[in-house]
Amino acid sequence: MEGYWLFLVLLVSALLLGFLSVLFALVWVFHYREGLSWDGGSAEFNWHPVLIITGFIFIQGIAIIVYRLPWTWKCSKLLIKFIHAGLNTIAMILAIVSLVAVFDFHNAKNIPNMYSLHSWIGLTAVIFYTLQLVLGFAVFLLPFAPVSLRASLMPIHIYSGLLIFATVIATALMGVTEKLIFALKTPAYSTSPPEAIFVNTLGLLIVIFGALILWMATRPHWKRPPEQNS
């Protein structure tokens, strides 16, 4: 494989950034915020960033590049498809639970739902992600679709998958920014308290993670060799 070592360096870097992002999200909610619980309070809201970063960003990112891991090229394509679909299913479930946490928290506190751009784009992303998963399952995993249909839908599946992933990251940045503006009053966000610096850094980690995943996923020479397809 051309550029194997570079691929490996990028993969290890992406994994480190992904783990670090999840760790930062946990430190944010446990050290700076109210922790995690399911009680209609802020600690229930806190599931939202934790589950989005774990599932909708980290696990989705790994699901995207799972075909590109060279040591899986001797495995059957069907097995890798199951892993791709399985990771995306886990990510979808975590994203949906994270939405339930927010709606539940809002309703308990009489906070309006679905007024922000973050919520409009975020809910749209979850809906399209679910559609992408159901369509991908029906077309590429079940044995019924003809190869001609698979071939014509594959570029759309790849494009919409990458678009959803990038949109989720942009949405997370909006959400993090919103939350810091809402939550940091004394001292204000504008005075750069430690939580602001820490969570801005979390945003940077997520962007770099996304940049690495999108790079690895779009290098043609790192594709699974076609002769191994099933």
Residues of span 95-114 touching ligand ASC by CB under 6 A: none
Partners of residue 188 on adjacent β-strands = 185
Q: Is the peptide bond before 187 cis (omega within 30 degrees of 0)?
A: yes
Distance in angstroms (rounded) separating the CA atoms of residues 170 and 162: 12
Phi and psi based region of residue 140 (left: phi greater than 0; alpha: psi -120 to 50; beta: remaining): alpha
Compute the distance between CA of residue 116 and CA of residue 44 in angstroms, rounded to an integer. 20
Q: How far is the CB of 74 from ligand ASC (least distance, A)?
A: 16
| 3-state helix/strand/coil string of 86-100 | HHHHHHHHHHHHHHH
Indicate the SS3 state at residue 36.
coil
Told to check if 225 binds ligand ASC by CB under 6 A, we report no
For residue 56, what are its two tokens? 């909708």
Work out whether the CA dihedral 169, 207, 94, 47 comes out positive or negative.
negative
Please say which residue, 48 or 84, places its beta carbon nearer to ligand ASC. 84
Q: Is 229 in the site for ligand ASC (CB under 6 A)?
A: yes
Closest distance to ligand ASC from the beta carbon of 141 (Å): 8
Integer Cα distance of 55 and 82 in angstroms = 17
The distance of closest approach from Cβ of residue 230 to ligand ASC in the complex, given in angstroms and rounded to an integer, is: 7
Answer for which of 74, 144, 146, 147 binds ligand ASC (CB under 6 A) is 147
Least distance in angstroms from the C-beta of 200 to ligand ASC: 41
- Among 8, 150, 156, 223, the residue binding ligand ASC under the rule CB under 6 A is 150
77 binds ligand ASC, rule: CB under 6 A: yes
Residue from the set 151, 156, 181, 204 that interacts with ligand ASC by CB under 6 A: 151
Residue 114, number of CB atoms within 10 A of its CB: 11
Beta strands in the chain (DSSP E): none
Q: Which is nearer to ligand ASC, 151 or 181 (CB)?
A: 151
CB 131 to ligand ASC: min, Å = 18
Q: How far is the CB of 80 from ligand ASC (least distance, A)?
A: 9
Q: Which of residues 17-76 bind ligand ASC (CB under 6 A)?
A: none
Q: Which spans of this chain sit near ligand ASC (rule: CB under 6 A)?
A: 77, 140, 147, 150-151, 154, 229
